[in-house]
Amino acid sequence: MNGIAWMWTYVRGWDFWVWFGLFAQFTFFLRFFVQWIATERARKVVIPAAFWWLSLVGGALILLYSMVRRDPVFIAGNSLGFLIYLRNLWFHYRGHHALPRGSLTAPQEEVAE
């Protein structure tokens, strides 16, 4: 049996949830292309809102897949990520930034002595 025939025999046995999980991973993976294109266009590192939306949707799909498969490792990992993606979208749309633009550290508050 050649490689293609073996692969087809193997893939043909996949159920709906395997295909769903692959789609979820692909959706999550697309965020890197979005970020890469945005960075190339801006000529600096940027993370557009689409990156966080793909993270949220892909993460939610992976979380659903994990729950159906009852995989506690993936449930734990994707639950935390899901909350982070929601938080970052909230910051994006509310206009609140934890750090000033272009800064890597929070501004230092002057302390009166």
3-state SS track over the chain: CCHHHHHHHHHHCCCHHHHHHHHHHHHHHHHHHHHHHHHHHHCCCCCCHHHHHHHHHHHHHHHHHHHHHCCHHHHHHHHHHHHHHHHHHHHHHHCCCCCCCCCCCCCCCCCCC
> Residue 42 is part of which domain span?
14-94
Q: Is residue 20 part of a domain?
A: yes
The predicted structure's pLDDT at residue 105: 54
Positions in the chain whose pLDDT score sits under 70: 1, 6-8, 10, 96-113
What pTM does this model have? 0.71
| pLDDT tens digits along 46-77 | 999 999 999 999 999 999 999 999 999 989 98
Q: Is residue 65 part of a domain?
A: yes
Q: Is residue 109 part of a domain?
A: no
List the structure tokens of 109: 């508050």
The predicted structure's pLDDT at residue 104: 54
